Amino acid sequence: MSEPILITGVGIVSAIGLDRAETLASLRAGKTGIGPLRFLKTDHHEFPVGEVPLSTDEMAARMGIPEGQPRTRTALMGMMALQQALQQAQLQPVDIARAAFVSGTTVGGMDMSEQYYLDFLNNDLHNDYIAQHDCGACTESIADRFGPFASMSTLSTACSSAANAIINGANDLRCGRHEIAVVGGSECITKFHLNGFNSLMILDHERCRPFDETRAGLNLGEGAAFLVIETMTSARRRGVRPIAVLEGYGNACDAFHQTASSPDGEGSYLAMKEALADAGLTPADIDYVNAHGTGTPNNDSSESQAMMRLFGSDMPPVSSTKSFTGHTTSASGSIEAVICLLALQEQFLPLNLGWQHQMPDGITPVTDATPRHPLRHVLCNSFGFGGNDSSLVLGSVPPGSYAKGATDKATADDTTTTHVAQRGVAGEVYLTAAEQISIQEGLSEAWLDTPIIYSEPYVRSLDVDFKQWLSPGESRRMGKLLKRALATSLSAMHKGGVEHPDAIITGTGLGCIENTEILLTHLCEEGEENCKPTPFMQSTHNTISSLVSIHTKSHGYNATYAHKEASFDCALEDAWLQLQLGRIRTALVGGQDEMTPKYFGLLRKTGYLGNPGQTAGETAVSVMLSAEATADALCRMTYFRRCYRPSAETLAAVAAEVGAVDAVMTSVSGAATSVTPLLREAASLFPGTPLLQFKNIFGESYTAYGLGIYATAHVLHRQLLPDAMLIEGFEKPTALRRILVLNQIDGKDYTFAILEQL
C-alpha cells in the first residue's frame, strides 16, 4: 500500500487576495474580486474580470526584478504564489533540489507577445520576449527563481491544467521518482483569450452567477497557486506538519466537443467517480464539492447532471467560487484546491455568490457558510476545453496521524491512505506501433533505406493524403497540424490493435501556432472586433489530444504537455509513470509541432533555429505503448528518467543506472562534425559507445525527441541503421539490442530512455 500524499505548503494569488490570509478573509466576508478592468490594455471594458490587484510593474518590484529584465505577468504571479508555498512548507534549497516542479498554463507569455508581436516580425526592439512566449519558458521563469528543481514539466490542458499538474506530481510521488513535488499553475488575463472567449459568446456583462437560472456566461480571472505535496516519509523526516491529504484524483475525457460539455456530463462524471475510487471513498463520504461552475449555461447544466448521476438524492453542499475570483482558466484547479484546503482547515463552506434563481433540473448551491457536519473530505472539479475533466479529493488530517514519530500501524489503519498502489507495478512496457509525418515520407519507414538529407535551413512536412482518415468537411475545418496528428494517431492505434487507449497524451511545444498567428495578426492589425472562434479554439494546446479522443470516442485519461523542447519527453514520462503504477495498460503518446515561416523567422532571431548545418522541420509522431506485447511490437522500453540541471554526480549516477548500451541516439542539432558540448558529454558518460543522430534526417522541432524514439524503435525492429545516423568518428555498432535515446536541451534539461530489441 502506497504512502499517503501530504500537502505541507500552499501559496495563492488571485483577485480576492495576495496570500492565504487575504483570500480567507474575502471568502469569509463574501467579498468578490470581480470588477472593472484596470490593467489589461483592451477595448473591451464592458466585461467585468477578476484581476490581481497589482500592476505588472508592482509585482516585479515585489519580487525584486529590475526594470528592463524580461518578465511576464503569468510568471510574476507564479513566483509570488510559489514563494509562499515554499515558505509554509519550510523547503530549503537542498529539498528543492530533489523535488519535482509541475506547473500548468496555457497563455504563458502571451501578455507580452500580443504587445510586441509586430515588433517581433518587423524589428529587433523586443526580441528578448520571443523566447518568453511559450508555456515551458513561463514554467522555467517561475521555478528558476527558487530552484533548481530536480525535474520540471508544464501541463497545458486549458482550464484543467493546474489540476492535471497536481495529478502528475502525485503520480511521480507514488512511483517513487521523488519524495516532494511542487504543483499548481499560473495564468494572467490577456487580450488574446479575452477576445477568444468573447468570440465564443460565453462572457457575461455582469458578475457571473454559477448555477443560477439567469446565468449568462463567465467572468475571466487571473492568478496563481502552488501546493507542496510530499510523501509521509519525507514530511516526517523534515519535521513539518501537514495541512491536508491528497486522497485521490481522476481524469477523463468527455469526448464530445472542443468547447461544449455533453448534456449528461459523461467526462466529469467519470473523473469524479475515478477520484472517489482512487481515494477509497463513496459519494456519501464527500462533505463538500467545489464545482467547476463557470456560470455558462452549458457547463452548469452538464456539471449538475454529472453530480446528480454520482450523488443521487444525497447531494453534498456544492458551490462555485468563480463568483469570487473569476475563471482563472489554467490556474483554476490549484487556486480552487487551495480554497478547498482553507475550507477544510477553517471548517466553513465557501458561498456561491450571486445565486438567486433555481435552475430547472439543476443543483441548489451553498448560500450558508455553516457546514451540516464537520468537513473531512472535499471534491474539487476542474474541466477544460475538449472535455478534459479532472477531479481531486482532498482530506483533513486526523489529529496525530502524520506527526513525526507516528507509528506505521496508525498510517496503515488510516482511512485516508491511498489505494492505487495495490494495483501493482507494471512489468514490461512495449512500443507496439509508431507512426510519423515529417520531412521524410509520411506514414512510412522508407526513410530507413534511403533517408532524404536536407541542406535547407527550413523544410515543411511532406503531407500524406488525409482522405483515409478525414472526411472533406473535417479536413476543411482543421489546420495542417491537426490533420497530421489525427492521421498518425489513428494509424498507430490501428497498427497497435487498440481502438480506445486508456490514455491519450500529447506533447506540443507551440500547439497549432498557425492559428495563434491568425488571431494575433487580427488583434494587432485589425483590432478586437470580429475575431473568429476557430483560430482561438485550435490555438489551445490540448486541441490535439481532445481531437483524437473526440474522433475515437475515447473517454480515458487525456493530457497535453507544452514544455519547450522537452514537450514530448514530458508526455512520455506521464505514460511511463502511469504504466508503472498500473493505472493504465495502453497509452497513445504524441509529439506534434508545426513550423510556419513567420515563427521560423522569430525562432531564428533567438538562435534556436537557423544554425550551421541545422534544418528546422515539423513533427507529427504517435507512439502506442502497452503493458503487453503484441505480435508486431517494435521493441520494449526498459528505462526512463528526466533530470533538470543535474550535477555531474547525478549524471554519473544515471549513466551507471543505464549501464552498457550498444549505441546512444543523441539529440545533437546542427553540424555534428563539430564537437558540441552534448557530444562531449555523451562520449564522457558512455565511453567507447557509438553516438548516433536523427535530427539531420528529421530536422529540429520542439517535439523532435518523439521522432528520435520513433526512429530508434524502427531501427531496433528492422535491425537496420542508416549510415546517415552514425556520427562521424564513431564505428557502426556491431549489435543493435539496446539503445539509449538521449535528449539534452540547453545543457540543463535531460531525458534518458532505453529501448531494447524484442
The whole-number mean pLDDT for each consecutive block of 10 residues of the chain, a chain of 758 residues, reads 89 98 98 96 96 97 92 97 98 97 97 96 95 95 95 96 98 96 98 95 96 96 98 96 97 91 93 97 98 95 96 96 97 98 97 95 94 96 93 91 51 33 58 98 96 95 93 88 97 97 97 95 95 92 94 96 97 97 97 96 94 94 97 97 95 96 94 74 95 96 97 98 94 96 94 98
Give residue 410's pLDDT: 36
Task: Residue 219: name the closest of 340, 385, 44, 380 by CA.
Answer: 44
Helices (DSSP H) in 285-401: which residue ranges?
297-311, 322-325, 332-346
Task: Residue 89: name the closest of 230, 248, 232 by CA.
Answer: 230
How far is residue 489 CA from its own chain's centroid? 19
Task: Residue 194: name the closest of 41, 13, 353 by CA.
Answer: 41
104 has which bridge partners?
Answer: 155, 185
Helices (DSSP H) in 130-190: which residue ranges?
135-144, 161-174
C-alpha distances out from residue 198 to 292, 513, 585, 599, Å: 19, 20, 40, 26
Give residue 674's pLDDT: 59
How far is residue 286 CA from its own chain's centroid? 27
Kindly give the interhelix angle for 543-552 and 480-496, rounded to the nearest 10 degrees: 50
Q: Are 352 and 320 in contact, with CB atoms under 8 Å apart?
A: yes
Q: Are 2 and 420 in contact, with CB atoms under 8 Å apart?
A: yes
145 has which bridge partners?
Answer: none
Give residue 691's pLDDT: 96
Burial of 121 (0-12, 13-18, 19+ CB in 10 A): middle
Question: Residue by residue, what is the 3-state secondary structure of 211-236?
Answer: CECCCCCECEECEEEEEEEEEHHHHH
Question: Residue by residue, what is the 3-state secondary structure of 173-186?
Answer: HHCCCCCEEEEEEE
Residues 241 and 235: their CA atoms lie apart, in Å, by: 7
Give residue 672's pLDDT: 56
Residues 507-521 as b/e (b if ≥16 CB within 10 A, e otherwise) read: bbbbbbbbbbbbbbe
Q: DSSP string covering 596-657, please?
A: -HHHHHHHHHHTSSS-TT--B--EEEEEEEESS--TT--EEEEEEEEEES--HHHHHHHHHH
**Cell numbers standing for residue 192:** 488574446
Q: What are the structural domains of the chain?
A: 5-422 (3.40.47.10), 429-756 (3.40.47.10)
C-alpha distances out from residue 505 to 163, 420, 456, Å: 15, 20, 32
Give residue 403's pLDDT: 58
Q: Are 158 and 329 in contact, with CB atoms under 8 Å apart?
A: yes
